[in-house]
Amino acid sequence: MNRHQVAMLSHEVRIPRVPRSKCNTHTHTHTHTHTHSLKDARASAHTHTHTPGRVTGDNFRMGTENEVIRCKAAVAWEPGKPLSVEEVEVAPPKDHEVRVKIAASGVCHTDWTYLYDCEKGVKTLPFPLILGHEAAGVVESIGPGVTSVQPGDKVIPVLLPHCNECKLCLSLKTNFCTKNWQKLQQCVLSDGTSRFTCRGQQVYQFAGVGTFCEYTVVPEFNVAKIRRDAPLDKVCLLGCGVATGYGAALNIAKVDCGSVCAVFGLGAIGLATVMGCKAAGASRIIGVDINPQKHEISKKFGVSEFVNPDDHSKPIQEVLMEMTGGGVDYSFECVGNVTLMRAAFESCSTAWGTCVIVGWTEKNLLSVSPKDFVLGRTLKGSFLGGWKSVCSLPNLVEDYMSGRILLDEFVTHTLPLEEINYAFELMTNGKSIRSVMKM
């Protein structure tokens, strides 16, 4: 399928018809050794110390182009240890890169997982590392060749690229992109290095983004330009959690009107999935969570019935099969636990049920019987809700601004960057839906 055919069908998946150029669109002591060369353009660049202040697209002041910027960041020096707020240097953007002043960054469970669950559920990433991948900000400067954004534009940096050129981008069958994907998974940019340094040492940037920092540098095709009046401390949630859950229901499961759905795990992603099921017209939405406080919270997003597995002596899939007279039409696992994934799959109707895996895990295997597929059950996966990242996120911002989706209701805590470890604590103890770090 060529670019013209994709454009002709774009209304079906909410991809805006735009030219390609528009659619690239605690103190801690450490002893780690520096393993990557820093002999690049930053060596000769000027240095600017960032002065904190309110960031908007209208009052943003330039003057730091081509300079190294010193600013605050929450640095993960090693796995399993709390983040340390440090002064870091952020180098100027290189070819086809964009430097963004981050205004707000949501705290996602995936950030916690890669810090505290290494070699259990996920692989170990390179350290030291700046986590964070769910943010919004303002373009501070652009590198040579950038055409889709300019300084002062409001943007959402996104961990999933969209180059609008590769085979995957030109297909409506996936939202993935091959452009620099392997490099980004290694927490570096296209040249094999990051743009962060701290104490003379390279600091990697999570998924090529790294938004627990007052500034970051990302590829042009990882930046979604959004409208100038969008509140950055709310739309940042569209960079991962809300978009992921909402799209899992609409784009991946394709929930139909009148259907019965079950959502396992009522954190931010699960509640966004509930919101997607409601938007699609589901007649029953059953929320499943072991935290009883989630019962009342989930109602405002669309949950009609709540089930706590701890209240039952039998497996939760059996409970749901009895509640629904043979299984739900659609189930969603939004935690990242393979035991729960199997329970979600087995709670579906044996004849036509669809289970969507939304939660993230890498190292644990899911065991299911081939018989279930033969008889009619379907198992799917969802990454960023199936949205074509750079092109789709501006549409989701429009949906929020027009009142079609909720965002404010997800934000339970707004905190300064210095309280990032407290934000993790709130999340793991089930005391927050989403904490947003204001820079």
Kindly write down the DSSP assignment for every residue of 58-127, as one continuous string: TT-----TTEEEEEEEEEE-STTS--EEEEEEEPPP-TTEEEEEEEEEE--HHHHHHHH-BTTTBPPPPS
Say yes or no to pLDDT of 50 above 80: no
Position of tokens 């392997």?
182
Percent of the chain with pLDDT over 90: 78
**309 pLDDT higher than 70:** yes
Query: How many CA atoms does the CB half-sphere of 232 hold within 13 Å?
Result: 27
Asked whether 276 and 249 are in contact (CB, 8 A), the reply is yes
Residue 120 pLDDT level (bands cut at 50, 70, 90): low
Could you tell me if 62 and 208 lie in one domain? yes
Whether 367 and 225 map to the same domain: the answer is no
Q: Render pLDDT for 321-366 as a digit per residue (tens, 0 to 9).
A: 999 999 999 999 999 999 999 999 999 999 999 999 999 888 778 8
Q: Is residue 147 assigned to a domain?
A: yes
- Does 285 lie in the same domain as 209? no
Residues 203 and 54 in one domain: yes
Identify whether residues 300 and 420 lie together within a single domain.
Answer: no
Phi and psi at 44, nearest 5°, equal -105, 5
Average pLDDT of the chain to the nearest whole number: 88
Least confident of 12-16, 211-215, 287-291: 12-16
Q: Which range of residues forms the domain containing residue 49?
A: 3-239+407-438
Do 336 and 416 belong to one domain? no
Does the pLDDT value for residue 33 go beyond 80?
no
Regarding whether 306 and 199 lie in a shared domain, the answer is: no
Answering whether pTM is above 0.75, one says: yes
Q: Summarize the confidence of residues 79-103 as an average pLDDT.
A: 98
pLDDT surpasses 60 at 42: no
CATH number, domain at 356? 3.40.50.720
Q: Residue 190 belongs to a domain with what CATH number?
A: 3.90.180.10
* Claim to verify: residue 115 and residue 134 sit in the same structural domain: yes
Q: Are residues 366 and 430 in the same domain?
A: no
User: Is residue 292, in this structure, part of any structural domain at all?
Assistant: yes
Give the count of domains, the chain. 2
User: Percent of the chain having pLDDT more than 70?
Assistant: 85
Three-class DSSP category at 168? coil
Predicted confidence at residue 30, as pLDDT, reads 37
Give yes or no for residue 28 having a pLDDT over 60.
Answer: no
| Model confidence at 32: pLDDT above 90 | no
Verify that 162 and 217 share a domain, yes or no: yes
Higher-confidence residue of 361 and 91: namely 91
Is 299 a domain residue?
yes
